[in-house]
Chains A and B, each alone.
Chain A
């Protein structure tokens, strides 16, 4: 059991995460019914306001707070209790992130920021929306530096040793996050805030988009890597085996520092201002992340097979049936991984240069999002929640909670399968993303999209409704395990943090020499961005004034 003060920081982070989850999924429910014309919003509320809130609260706020709750718990568990300074800065980080979140959300609710979480200029939100977003980033940096400080103390006290795998992976994720944020911090601080408060008249739109996507793609790895941590470190323990290969796990993580950042152009493939050469170069770099992903897939299935055989599984696939399917901590994460197979394949399609034109900004992308961050990441976090909250509160995870957990996971899977399949197919037909109900004045081409067995207004709404039910079950579980479930008194009821053993005897020391990885990452960023970015700045057109088109 970790120190009670550390548990408190983690619980507050997780609590805020699920408050955001509650509001965010409610917005999602409203959206599916507006999109099929079953629901009319009151005049003071706009579809795009709800859509912005859905994106910000789920993709940014839920993920970020949950990730820090998970990191704080795991770092305290693997490296020992926090010192007073680490604790202080973890709290400051938490409050600053929360302040930023509240500011940004208030602006969305006030109708001053219906600009989506991508906030593309020259849509101009209230300056306080951008300040809020900046505070969110600064808050995460403070929390990050607290954890880095904790890690440095451990390294000083354990000279010459490799750190535990959980800590190593946390630091990898944080390094990637801090480098990635430089792009969004630059654009928000030097472009958006002066422009939104009227200190400058115009903004260079293409530059702001490019700096945003410097951050926007590694942002998705910031969500994914904590899920990968659960897959590498938590799952083997649940299965009763060791980490398959410590060195490969570490290698795959450092490869993400290298290849998740110099790739933002693959979100800008169909836009002007970047020449084909640089777009293609970043497409190639994007595809390099397939290597660590393949390594991860191999490690996972190797872990499953070893565990299944240990339980008496025979033959080529017999081990599969011997996995602990009734253990909700495992089943949830297994389904999350399964969703990532089509999710990852869809990502390869999206980033495939000219192929991107077929899917760019269609509903396909929305479908892709929901079977990457919306299920592999989110469902892994759900699978963690089932033991993480009871572990932190010292409460039982009762039998009825286990059953509810299973219902929650299954409903989420079914809802997501229906909704994301409909979205993918509709996108292939050409239906655009981020739109309220529209038939383009009953245009025959648009009517045709919604005429299929799966591609119609109803499938998406059914999927969305099932997802909302699932979300509410989860909220119930969270409230119970946080405040109401009975305290675990008997040793058999105590919920533990499943952290697998990892054999480091053959892991090379250079894997934990961060300067190698930071240096290589910077070199790749310079190669991928220096020339096109300086060209963009030198040949910039006159800037754009702000517009409030909502």
Chain B
């Protein structure tokens, strides 16, 4: 307790207050409301676990959870693949590497909503024209089926986030001591062996961070979903966050939405914590 001095608490207070007022207290409120029949205006009675039971009975929420899980799996895989790939390209000694870094990072500076509308235009109008010119059917009717909607969102997120993940990998790649690589070279290790046995283990901490980031981001995605497909067709591309917002604000079923949000919170925290735990164990200390 020696460091718990007055100044310690003084410095801590603003953050604790801020966090408490905008995160902790509303969260607790929400938790309580999820056990009531709150409709946004009044909560008349406690109904116990009814909202939670209903949530597992109706397939809308489960469908959204399943869709989001699928998306998170593909998203995490592709994002890390592209992120690391791009990072490896720009850490080579090529002349335009600084320019390339900027270019790859740029999509991340555009807001998700706007990106969604840009890609909606690409998928619908540009792809439609391509199909018209080349006669390839595969370019036609994008976003009008659940499948193309799914890949549409995957492509959009990869395009947006890969640059960001790239930056994290670059930081770790540039920290790898040159002498290690050189020693391996002298010992006759092939480029693949060098990557597998030296580079890869040494960027493991970057994996932890990137996977945590991409995983939680893939689960919480909302704005791209909203502007690209708006859940359509027939709510088949609706992610959990969007499902919750719609339940709350268009169905006006606030308490039910709150219960969904609590479950969502549990899912995300369990997934993210497990993942951090396992990745931490695998990291190599230099």
A and B: partners? Answer: no
Chain A residues packing against B (C-beta within 8 Å): none
Chain B residues packing against A (C-beta within 8 Å): none
